[in-house]
Amino acid sequence: MKNFFISYIYRLWDNRVKPIKAIKAIIALSKDNEDTEQVFHVIDALKGSSDRKYFKIFSKSEIGKKILKERIHLVDTLKNKESLSKLPKNTLGYKYYEFIYKENLSPEELIDASEKSKKEFGNRTEDEIFFNIRKRDMHDLWHVATGYGRDALGELSLLAFTYAQEQNRGIGAIALYGYWRVGREFPDFNLRKVIREGYKNGKNATLWSCEDWEELIKLPIDEVREKINSKKPELYFSALNDLGAEPIKFNDDKVLVN
């Protein structure tokens, strides 16, 4: 009984919200928007027990059970540039390949920023850490599946989408911070409605962390979007047009095919 009580108190402490740490990270981020490590600090500081709740949903799903049992690392698939480049050009995997390499990115960039904060997983089990790493590796896949670019508005909209999916208060805080910034810096454009659209689309989609992305990348992107209920972000594309920006194009087609 004593050990149970001690363990319970420790879990409460480990799952606590750390507002001071979050504020410091947000201040640092406001001074340097490229310091992506601060994003992970905010998420860790405010997540509470949300990631554990989400993990339970994942671990009870058929896909989750398979991935945890077989220890399937999504990043191994995403790093295989040669394999992705040989997929049919209408597949999610090939669109991801073009997204990454046209933007001069690599899966390792996001990994490096996240690895620096890996110690902050705290008292998580190996399975929970494995799941959180898998979620991290999905980020750019979600860009392609949603149609959101890596511009600031696209990133904020995807964060709002992700918050709707996971209910992680840290992700919500970053999205809210961005929501405030775009409203202040672009008063002539109603960009906040674009971020709200991201949240709405995230609520309406299937739970993407519980999807089999290793198989989805082999399918035509239109079929994938239908399967996971990825709605076209109409307001986002309209805002890009109003701002004179162009969405990324692949094979002369927009990311989200009409």
- Taking only the tens place, the pLDDT of each residue in 65-115 is 999 999 999 999 998 989 999 999 999 999 999 998 776 766 666 555 455
Q: Which residues touch 66 (CB under 8 Å, ≥6 apart)?
A: 72, 212
- Tell me if 85 sits within 8 A of 94, measured CB to CB: yes
Instruction: Using a cut of 0.85, tell me whether the model's pTM lies above it.
Output: no
Q: How far apart (Å, rounded) are the C-alpha atoms in residues 152 and 154? A: 5
Q: What is the pLDDT of residues 122-156, one digit of tens each?
A: 667 889 989 988 988 898 999 999 999 988 889 88
For residue 44, the SS3 value is helix
Instruction: Please report which confidence band the pLDDT of residue 256 belongs to, taking 50, 70 and 90 as the band edges.
Output: very low
Domain count, the chain: 1
Domain that holds residue 12: 2-254
- Token pair, residue 215, equals 């198989």
- Mean pLDDT, the chain, rounded, equals 78
Q: Output the pLDDT for position 61.
A: 95
Query: What's the sign of the alpha-carbon dihedral 129, 21, 175, 79?
Result: negative
Residue 35 has pLDDT above 90, yes or no: no
